[in-house]
């Protein structure tokens, strides 16, 4: 009962915010940007893999949000509506990149130090009490995971990003992608297995050097996590 009452309260609060946005409240717009700018940038960056393109696309997302808020009627949550726009704009940006820039630069994104998306990921994955070697190892492993994740076919890649990196619920992912919860779970199972299979040769090759633990074959749905010098597959 408590969860139900809490959900009603959240919906009422969101409805009030949406009303303020539709009325053109500058405070509401400032709240929206403060609440969603970083997660939207992070989501877009994981898809387009270029900091400058991610920043430009994030601006486009919020322009679409500001212009389209009057047509938002609450069929989904504000968060899932914004994420749906972000995924659409990121996909458009990536298609544009392949049409116009793929022959001007390497297809594989660079692992340049200091990229905004990289820094956020490093902070989340690195134990700041680790030695310099451990920190380098963590970065190397994360870079490999990112590369293999980028090479996963759609729709598995986006579903994995939303669940395992954005930590969205099955229901939220279903709303964002406009699919059933069952389809979300199926894509996660297949995507995680595909990612694990892509990572296994790397883990076996450098595991001893970097202190990684190769996961055993799972019996059920798996999740791949990187951290603490380990590549883990957990049920």
Question: What pLDDT score does 170 carry?
Answer: 95
The mean per-residue pLDDT over the stretch 67-73 comes to: 92
C-alpha dist (Å) from residue 41 to 74, 101, 150: 23, 21, 17
| Tokens of residue 22, six digits | 């539709």
Q: What is the band of 1 on the pLDDT scale with cuts at 50, 70, 90? A: very low
DSSP calls for 25-91: -HHHHHHHHHHHHHHHHHHHHHHH--HHHHHHHHHHHHHHHHHHGGG--SSS-HHHHHHHHHHHHHH
Question: What pLDDT score does 107 carry?
Answer: 41
Residue 142 · residue 122 · CB < 8 Å: yes
pLDDT digits (tens, 9 = 90+) for 7-25: 455 678 888 999 999 999 9
Q: Domains of the chain (ranges plus CATH)?
A: 1-110 (1.10.1740.10), 115-235 (1.10.10.10)
pLDDT digits (tens, 9 = 90+) for 28-51: 999 999 999 999 999 999 888 889
On the question of pLDDT at 194 being above 50, the answer is yes
On the question of pLDDT at 123 being above 50, the answer is no
Nearest to 144 by CA among 211, 200, 209, 78: 200
Nearest to 160 by CA among 190, 124, 138: 190
Residue 171 · residue 181 · CB < 8 Å: yes
User: Which of 60-74, 80-94, 135-149 is least confident?
Assistant: 135-149
pLDDT digits (tens, 9 = 90+) for 97-107: 655 555 554 44
Question: What pLDDT score does 76 carry?
Answer: 86
CA 99 to mean position of chain CA atoms: 24
List the beta bridge partners of residue 133.
none
| Dihedral of alpha carbons 125, 44, 83, 143, sign | negative
Question: What pLDDT score does 212 carry?
Answer: 61
């Amino acid at each position: 009962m408590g969860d139900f009452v809490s959900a009603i309260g959240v919906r009422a609060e969101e409805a009030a915010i949406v009303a303020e946005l539709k009325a053109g409240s500058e405070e509401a717009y400032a709240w929206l940007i403060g609440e969603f700018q970083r997660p939207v940038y992070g989501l877009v960056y994981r898809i387009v893999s270029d900091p400058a393109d991610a920043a430009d696309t994030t601006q486009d997302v919020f322009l679409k949000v500001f212009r389209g808020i009057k047509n938002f009627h609450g069929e989904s949550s504000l968060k899932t509506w914004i994420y749906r726009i972000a995924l659409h704009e990121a996909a458009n940006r990536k298609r544009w990149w392949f049409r116009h820039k793929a022959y001007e630069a390497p297809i594989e994104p660079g692992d340049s130090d200091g990229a905004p998306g990289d820094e956020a990921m490093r902070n989340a994955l690195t134990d700041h009490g680790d030695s310099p070697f451990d920190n380098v190892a963590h970065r190397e492993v994360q870079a490999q995971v990112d590369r293999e994740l980028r090479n996963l076919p759609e729709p598995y890649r986006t579903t994995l990003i939303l669940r395992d990196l954005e930590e969205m619920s099955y229901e939220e992912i279903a709303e964002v992608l406009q699919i059933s919860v069952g389809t979300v779970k199926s894509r996660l199972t297949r995507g995680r297995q595909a990612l694990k299979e892509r990572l296994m040769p790397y883990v076996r090759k450098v595991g001893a050097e970097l202190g990684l633990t190769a996961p055993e074959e799972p019996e059920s749905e798996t999740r791949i996590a990187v951290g603490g010098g380990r590549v883990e597959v957990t049920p």
